[in-house]
Amino acid sequence: MCKSVLKSILTALLGLCLFTTGCMSINESQAGGVKNRTDNIRVASLSIFPEKWDKDSNTGKIEKMIREAVVKGAQMVITPEGVLEGYVVNEVINEEEPVGKKKLTEAFIRLAEHIEGERIRYFRNLAKELDIYLLLGFLEVDGGKLYNTAALLGPEGEVVGKYRKTHFWQGYEVNPPGYTAGNDYPVFDIGALKIGIMICFDRQLPEPARILGLGGADLIVCPAYGGWGQWNTKLMEVRAYENQVYVVFTHPEQSLFIDRDGNLLKECRQDSFIICEVPLSDHKKTRKSVIHRRVETYGPLLNKEME
């Protein structure tokens, strides 16, 4: 009798669990994919910790987390700086033994992908399959030069555009041959939202974010691999506030979503992701620090050297 009652209770509980799990599946209005976009776009920031030098492993890891984010409703996905190859430029720079440095330099050059290369095509096809925008960080080769690049891939499998990191923490004399800083700050218009991109150390200078804001960016995304933590959170809050833009910071150890008033709304740490909703309207810049600038007084900003 007791066994029969216990069996009935367990059966009922199992049925309840199955029912509850089924209710967790997202409905059509919550589904990922740009076609399901309404008044907001759901942006996922993936704190993926990549394997250094291993594009095969990283491709699988990136795809897995992208798919998980889309199941949770993501329509745009941001990955960290250099996530495809594991951001290995510092390994080359810091190697002091000549033979070892030569080998690492050669391996570094071999890692680089052309924007039309096999791996990028793979992720373009993935973006098309999942109907999402995807920002992918990778080491790019183009015309014999190497760049720290973030490519924005679109839901039709297209390359919407790319941004090349403009500022290097380590300076510009110690890098592997051909490793070059970018010179432009493009803003990408995807319809109801304009997106600007910074990469890692770019955020520590006020000018890149300001230029992107002046270029019309409603959202600035910042894939990174270097420093993170409370100091960085404060810095990103300031960048959002002073330019009246939404900011998404994406690092293997930390993801942040900050609103136009500099308020931190969401955060996560390693091997997880956040999904945040960015409105597709009401992006007008109204802050006095944005509209009352006196650009005629800013000539000294063009001076290369500090006094």
Question: Is 2 a known active-site residue?
Answer: no
Question: Is 200 a known active-site residue?
Answer: yes
Joined tokens for residue 253: 């150890």
Handedness of CA 92, 96, 101, 105 (dihedral sign): positive
Strand ranges inside the chain, DSSP E: 40-47, 76-78, 133-142, 145-153, 159-164, 187-189, 194-197, 219-223, 246-251, 254-258, 264-269, 272-279
Choosing from 200, 222, 237, 276, the catalytic residue is: 200
Choosing from 165, 194, 222, 237, the catalytic residue is: 165
Measured in Å, how far apart are the chain's first and last C-alpha atoms? 90
Backbone angles phi, psi at 258, to 5 degrees: -125, 135
Please report where in the chains the tokens 């209005």 appear, as a residue.
29
CA distance 187 to 27: 33
CA distance 293 to 303: 19
Question: In sequence order, what are the residues at sequence separation of 6 or more whose Cβ sits closer than 8 angstroms to the Cβ of residue 243?
Answer: 209, 210, 212, 213, 217, 220, 290
Choosing from 81, 85, 140, 237, the catalytic residue is: 81
CA distance 157 to 129: 8
CA distance 231 to 210: 20
User: Which residues are annotated as catalytic?
Assistant: 81, 165, 200
